A and B are shown apart, each in its own frame.
Chain A
Amino acid sequence: MKLSGTQFLSRIGFSALAAVLGALFALPLIWFLFAPFNARAELGLAIPNPFTLSNFTTVFGNSLAIHALLNSLVEGIGGVIVIGVAATLAAYALSRSTIPGKQAATYVLLLFSSVVSGSAAMVPIFLIISALGLIDTQAAVILVFSGGLLPTAMFILRDFIDGIPRSYEESAMVAGASPVQAFFDVALPVIRPGIVVVVVWAFVNIWGGFLIPFILLRSSDQMPASVAIYSFYSEAGTPIVTLLAAYSLLYSLPVIVLYLFVSWRFGFRFFGGIKA
Chain B
Amino acid sequence: MASVEFRAVTKTFGNFTAVDQIDLSIGDGEFVCLLGPSGCGKTTSLRMIAGLETPTSGQILIGGTDVTGLHPKDRQISMVFQDYALYPHMNLADNIAYPLKVRGEPVGKRHARAREVADVLKIGDLLNRLPSQISGGQQQRTSLARALVYPSRVYLFDEPLSNLDAKLRLEARGFLNHLQRDMGMTAIYVTHDQAEAMALATRIAVMDRGRIVQFAAPIEIYRRPATTFVANFVGNPPMNLVPVEAVADRDTLVLRAEGLTMQGMPLSAGMREALAKSRTLTLGVRPEHLTVASGAEGNSIAGKLFANENMGPESLVTLERDDGSRVTARIFTDEHVDAGEVVRLGFSSDHVTFFDGEGSRIPQDGEAPL
Complexed CA–CA distance, A186 and B135 (Å): 21
When C-beta atoms are compared, the residue in chain B nearest to A187 turns out to be: B87
Check if B140 sits within 8 Å of A276, measured CB to CB: yes
Check if A275 sits within 8 Å of B83, measured CB to CB: yes
Complexed CA–CA distance, A181 and B71 (Å): 13
**At the interface, yes or no: B72 with Cβ under 8 Å from chain A?**
yes
Given contacts A167-B83, A175-B146, contact A274 B163 (CB under 8 A): no
Check if A170 sits within 8 Å of B72, measured CB to CB: yes
**At the interface, yes or no: A190 with Cβ under 8 Å from chain B?**
yes
Complexed CA–CA distance, A57 and B101 (Å): 56
Complexed CA–CA distance, A177 and B98 (Å): 9
Check if B102 sits within 8 Å of A170, measured CB to CB: no
When C-beta atoms are compared, the residue in chain B nearest to A276 turns out to be: B136
B117 to chain A, nearest CB (A): 13
Interface residue tally of chain B, by bracket?
35 or more
Check if B163 sits within 8 Å of A173, measured CB to CB: no
Contacts of A43 in B (CB 8 A): none
Check if B102 sits within 8 Å of A171, measured CB to CB: no
**At the interface, yes or no: A178 with Cβ under 8 Å from chain B?**
yes
Given contacts A175-B98, A175-B102, A275-B163, contact A186 B87 (CB under 8 A): yes
Contacts of B140 in A (CB 8 A): 276
**At the interface, yes or no: A48 with Cβ under 8 Å from chain B?**
no
Contacts of B207 in A (CB 8 A): none
Contact with A167, one of B73, B81, B156 (Cβ below 8 angstroms): B81
Contacts of B51 in A (CB 8 A): 173-174
Check if B146 sits within 8 Å of A173, measured CB to CB: no
Given contacts A177-B73, A181-B102, contact A190 B87 (CB under 8 A): yes
Check if A168 sits within 8 Å of B146, measured CB to CB: no
Check if A176 sits within 8 Å of B150, measured CB to CB: yes
Given contacts A175-B102, A176-B103, A276-B139, contact A167 B85 (CB under 8 A): yes
Contact with A276, one of B75, B85, B164 (Cβ below 8 angstroms): B164
Contacts of A177 in B (CB 8 A): 73, 98, 102
Complexed CA–CA distance, A173 and B89 (Å): 17
Check if B164 sits within 8 Å of A274, measured CB to CB: no
**At the interface, yes or no: A185 with Cβ under 8 Å from chain B?**
yes
B41 to chain A, nearest CB (A): 18
**At the interface, yes or no: A172 with Cβ under 8 Å from chain B?**
yes
Complexed CA–CA distance, A273 and B82 (Å): 12
Given contacts A174-B52, A178-B73, contact A168 B85 (CB under 8 A): yes
**At the interface, yes or no: B78 with Cβ under 8 Å from chain A?**
yes
**At the interface, yes or no: A165 with Cβ under 8 Å from chain B?**
yes
Contacts of B89 in A (CB 8 A): 189-190, 271
Q: Which residues from 30 to 73 on chain B have a C-beta closer than 8 Å to any C-beta of chain A?
A: 50-52, 71-73
Complexed CA–CA distance, A176 and B79 (Å): 11
Complexed CA–CA distance, A271 and B131 (Å): 11
Given contacts A185-B98, A276-B135, contact A174 B72 (CB under 8 A): yes
Complexed CA–CA distance, A174 and B157 (Å): 12
A167 to chain B, nearest CB (A): 4
When C-beta atoms are compared, the residue in chain B nearest to A169 turns out to be: B85
Most chain A CB within a 10 A radius of its CB, from B73, B137, B139? B73
B33 to chain A, nearest CB (A): 19
Contacts of B132 in A (CB 8 A): 274
Check if A175 sits within 8 Å of B99, measured CB to CB: yes
When C-beta atoms are compared, the residue in chain B nearest to A181 turns out to be: B102
Check if B73 sits within 8 Å of A168, measured CB to CB: no
Complexed CA–CA distance, A236 and B302 (Å): 105
* A-B residue pairs in contact (CB < 8 Å), sample of 20: A167-B83, A170-B52, A173-B51, A174-B50, A174-B51, A174-B72, A174-B156, A175-B73, A175-B78, A175-B99, A175-B102, A175-B146, A177-B73, A178-B71, A189-B87, A190-B88, A274-B84, A274-B132, A274-B139, A276-B140
Q: Other than the known A174-B77, A190-B89, A276-B164, what 19 A-B pairs have Cβ atoms closer than 8 Å?
A: A165-B85, A168-B85, A170-B72, A171-B81, A172-B102, A174-B51, A174-B156, A175-B99, A176-B73, A176-B102, A177-B98, A178-B73, A185-B101, A186-B87, A190-B88, A274-B86, A274-B131, A275-B84, A276-B139
Chain B positions within 8 Å of A, measured between CB atoms, are 50-52, 71-73, 75, 77-79, 81-89, 98-99, 101-103, 131-132, 135-137, 139-140, 143, 146, 150, 156, 163-164
Ranked nearest first, the 7 interchain pairs of A and B with the lowest CB-CB distance are: A276-B136, A175-B99, A167-B85, A171-B85, A189-B89, A173-B72, A177-B102
